[in-house]
Amino acid sequence: MKDWKAAVLYILIGVVLASFAFYIYMRPEPAPALVLQTLNTLTPIPTATSVPIQVHVLGEVVNPGVYTLPAGSRVADALKAAGGGKPDSSLYRLNLAALLVDGQRVYVPSNAELIDQETDSADENTNLSGKININTASINQLISLPGIGMMKAGEIILYRNDHGDFQTLEALMDVPGIGPGTFEDLKDKITIGP
């Protein structure tokens, strides 16, 4: 009986040792330790910055001139930078909420200027075919054209004052804010002569 007990004891010891050896052999390798290093030469991730714009504010404002404004500024911001409108300014004719672009001119007409232009006879500036003469048209006549608001009408008049009469219809595209698309809508409704 002693031999039987000794044999069972040896078998149990063998099983324990075999299990321990199997556990050691099959055990997963520990994950290598990660070493994080900070580099002193890291450059920050660039962020988008808005480039300021410059606009020319003129007409009936306290301080006409060129002003640098943040991108996304509106006509109201340009007028504020120029000290606001003079007492005779016709600000209600402007779209104060319009976004500005770099290089834009903001023209503020006077009430007297608008009254003078409104008293022009429509016959004088409209030829027999019903086309509007862009060399002599008043602001009211210009804003009756498709795609021409108060700002663009003011730009047309300012361009006329600075450069003289338009020599061709296509010269209208030299006015800031009037591109080929707007010109296409206008070309059959305007003239430069009688």
User: How does pLDDT run across 44-77, given as a tens digit for each residue?
Assistant: 555 556 799 999 998 889 999 999 999 999 999 9
130 in the same domain as 96? no
Residue 83: predicted pLDDT: 93
pLDDT score of 190 more than 50: yes
Beta pairing, strands 105-108 & 132-133 = unpaired
What is the tally of structural domains in the chain?
2
In a domain, 5, yes or no: no
In a domain, 18, yes or no: no
pLDDT score of 107 more than 70: yes
126 in the same domain as 77? no
Name the range with the highest mean pLDDT among 21-35, 65-79, 87-101, 108-122: 65-79
185 in the same domain as 144? yes
In a domain, 128, yes or no: yes
pLDDT score of 120 more than 70: no
d(CA 17, CA 95): 91
Residue 127: predicted pLDDT: 47
141 in the same domain as 172? yes
Query: The CATH number of the domain where 128 resides is what?
Result: 1.10.150.320
126 in the same domain as 98? no
∠ at Cα 78 (72, 83), nearest 5°? 150
Does this model's pTM top 0.85? no
193 in the same domain as 124? yes
194 in the same domain as 124? yes
- Mean pLDDT along residues 117-137: 64
d(CA 69, CA 71): 6
169 in the same domain as 104? no
In a domain, 57, yes or no: yes
C-alpha dist (Å) from residue 191 to 139, 166, 172, 194? 15, 10, 11, 8
Residue 125: predicted pLDDT: 45
In a domain, 10, yes or no: no
In a domain, 124, yes or no: yes
CA nearest to 155, candidates 170, 171, 133, 177:
177
Q: Which of 112-116, 120-124, 125-129 has the lowest mean pLDDT?
A: 120-124
Of 58, 75, 109, which closes a domain?
109
Of 89, 109, 129, which closes a domain?
109
Of 90, 109, 128, which closes a domain?
109
**Which residue segment(s) compose the domain that 163 sits in?**
120-194
Token pair, residue 5, equals 């007990």
In a domain, 192, yes or no: yes
